[in-house]
């Protein structure tokens, strides 16, 4: 019960931040893919660096365990490509579509309907994708495990990428 309430509150703050960050807007998302507005990239990379450094430190302190999704190479690539096209055609990703619905976007409601249909159809045809899901499945592997390069180096690189985006906003913001 506590977990349900905690999750509701975490979701609330997540939705609040997405709306305040202006990423629950079709214009902002599509213009990111046109490389005219880097709000989405900056938001995601900042979340990755701040979140990742904290989570790895908490892990070192023994306070949390990682939950890494398996590297199902074929399914992640094919699913990601379909997702990318869907994200541009709809103008939102799942989280930002829910946030856009909260913000009052009418098109986001149609998006939620399409998302519901996509979820249910996938459940129907799930068994047909077993071969793709198993194709080059390397299990839950992380970049430090795969390369031997320590975790903090990756966040320095991601942070440098974030810094490189800094002078660009004149076109979009």
Spatial distance between the Cα atoms of 138 and 29, rounded to a whole number of angstroms: 31
Q: Which tokens hold the place of 145?
A: 């495990």
Quote the least distance from Cβ 113 to another protein, whole Å. 6
- Give the up-direction half-sphere exposure of residue 167: CA atoms within 13 A in the CB hemisphere: 2
Provide the 10 A C-beta neighbour count for residue 108. Answer: 23
CB 5 within 8 A of CB 67: no
Q: How far is the CB of 136 from another protein (least distance, A)?
A: 11
3-state secondary structure of 72: strand
- Contact letters for another protein, residues 56-75 (x by CB under 8 A): x-x----xxxxxxxxxxx-x
Note whether 131 binds another protein by CB under 8 A: no
- The single-letter DSSP state of residue 64 is -
Taking CB under 8 A as the criterion, the residue among 134, 135, 138, 170 binding another protein is: 138
- Interface residue with another protein among 104, 131, 148, 164 (CB under 8 A) is 104
Give the DSSP letter of residue 127. G
Contact positions with another protein (CB under 8 A) in 4-33: 4-27, 30-31, 33
Site for another protein in 28-57 (CB under 8 A): 30-31, 33-35, 38-39, 42-52, 54-56
Least Å from the CB of residue 145 to another protein: 9
């Amino acid at each position: 019960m506590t977990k349900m309430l905690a999750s509701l509150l975490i979701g609330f703050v997540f939705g609040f931040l997405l709306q305040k960050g202006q990423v629950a807007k079709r214009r902002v998302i599509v213009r990111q893919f046109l490389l005219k507005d880097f709000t989405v990239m900056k938001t995601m990379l900042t979340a990755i660096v701040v979140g990742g450094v904290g989570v790895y430190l908490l892990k070192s302190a023994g306070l949390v365990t990682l939950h890494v999704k398996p590297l199902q190479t074929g399914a992640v690539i094919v699913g990601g490509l379909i997702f990318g096209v869907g994200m541009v055609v709809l103008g939102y990703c799942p989280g930002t579509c829910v946030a856009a619905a909260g913000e009052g976007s009418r098109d986001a409601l149609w998006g939620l309907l399409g998302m519901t249909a996509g979820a249910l159809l996938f459940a129907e045809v799930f068994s047909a994708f077993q071969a793709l899901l198993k194709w080059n499945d390397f299990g839950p592997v992380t970049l430090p495990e795969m390369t031997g390069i320590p975790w903090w180096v990756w966040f320095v690189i991601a942070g440098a990428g974030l810094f490189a985006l800094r002078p660009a906003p004149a076109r979009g913001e």
